Amino acid sequence: MTTWESVQEFLSEPTTWSGPDSIWTRLGEHIWVSVAAVIIAGLLVLPLAVWLGHIRRGSAVATAVVNIGRAVPSFGILAIAFLVLVQMGAGVGEPWAVLVALIALAAPPMFTNTVAGIQAVEPATIESARGMGLTEREVLTGVELPLSAPLMMEGVRIAFVQVIATATLGALVAWGGLGRYIVDGFARQDMGRLIVGAVLVGLLAIAAELGLSAMQRAATPHGIRPAR
């Protein structure tokens, strides 16, 4: 049976389109866990990152955080989160371990880009803002945050795309998501399931990348957009 035939066969099965293992269910799982992870990570680290950026501290910490984040394999974080949560009593197959691991992965790029983005604002700009009598809060909300928005959004984009990718590995720790098709495809030697799963994951990641790139551009104040 050719790859194409097995893809067609998989797509023609009714369970592919409805029920607990349908594409819609798996896609929904994948997306909600990813979105939730990025939002929770943002709520956890952004206040600290904004504050550190504003007082112009912590750039060394920010660099270290990315380097460490890069060196620790996401598969490993996922495995550790899984074992810890199972030992704490979570059920196998529940999304919590995946969610915790994804939060841990989403946090570093958002933290670092926010700290770096705010610190990248010209000191002269901030000094003149203070010189005109803006309060610290107004300096932050009126000057620093708008000017650092593109870099912050880039952090969100990097985090989200990485989270989408790592959520795929969730199937290796007994969770669902679109990775389920790939892992099951490997296990059952079901080429159709494998390829459909891979294509869907790939498309989702690319869609996330493009969508957040557009948001990043939209978040860029007009005055600092690169001239065409």
Partner 1 sequence: MMVLGQTSQLVDWDWIGRNIDQIADRTWQHLSLTAVSVGIGLVISLALAIVALRWRWSYTPITWVTGLLYTIPSLALFALLVPVVGLNATNAVIALTSYTLLIIIRNLVAGIDSVPDAVLEAADGMGYTRRARFWRMEVPLALPVIIAGLRIATVTTVGLVTVTAVLGLGGYGYFILRGLNTFFWTQILVGVVLSVALATVLDIGFLVMQRALSPWARRAR
Q: Which residues bind partner 1 (CB under 8 A)?
A: 3, 67, 70-77, 79-80, 82-83, 86-87, 161, 164-166, 168-169, 172-173, 179, 182-183, 185-186, 191, 194-195, 197-199, 201-202, 205-206, 209
Which residues, 6 or more positions from 204, have their beta carbon under 8 angstroms from its beta carbon?
27, 30, 31, 164, 178
Tokens 């989270």, residue located: 163
Between 27 and 86, name the residue whose CB sits nearer to partner 1: 86
Q: Are 208 and 165 in contact (CB under 8 A)?
A: no
Q: Rounded CA gap, 13 and 23, in Å?
A: 11
Smallest gap from residue 83 Cβ to partner 1 (A): 6
Tokens of 120: 């990248």
Smallest gap from residue 26 Cβ to partner 1 (A): 13
Smallest gap from residue 17 Cβ to partner 1 (A): 21
Smallest gap from residue 186 Cβ to partner 1 (A): 6
Between 54 and 180, name the residue whose CB sits nearer to partner 1: 180
Assign 175 to helix, strand or coil: coil
Smallest gap from residue 192 Cβ to partner 1 (A): 10
Amino acid occupying residue 145: L
Q: Rounded CA gap, 165 and 201, in Å?
A: 8
Q: Are 160 and 106 in contact (CB under 8 A)?
A: yes
Smallest gap from residue 97 Cβ to partner 1 (A): 11
Terminal alpha carbon distance of the chain = 52
Between 9 and 138, name the residue whose CB sits nearer to partner 1: 9
Between 58 and 170, name the residue whose CB sits nearer to partner 1: 170
CA–CA–CA angle 115, 42, 71 (5° rounding): 70
Between 8 and 18, name the residue whose CB sits nearer to partner 1: 8
Smallest gap from residue 90 Cβ to partner 1 (A): 12
135: left (phi over 0), alpha (psi -120 to 50) or beta: beta
Between 120 and 198, name the residue whose CB sits nearer to partner 1: 198
Q: Rounded CA gap, 99 and 18, in Å?
A: 25
Which residues, 6 or more positions from 113, have their beta carbon under 8 angstroms from its beta carbon?
151, 152, 154, 155, 156, 158
Between 73 and 93, name the residue whose CB sits nearer to partner 1: 73
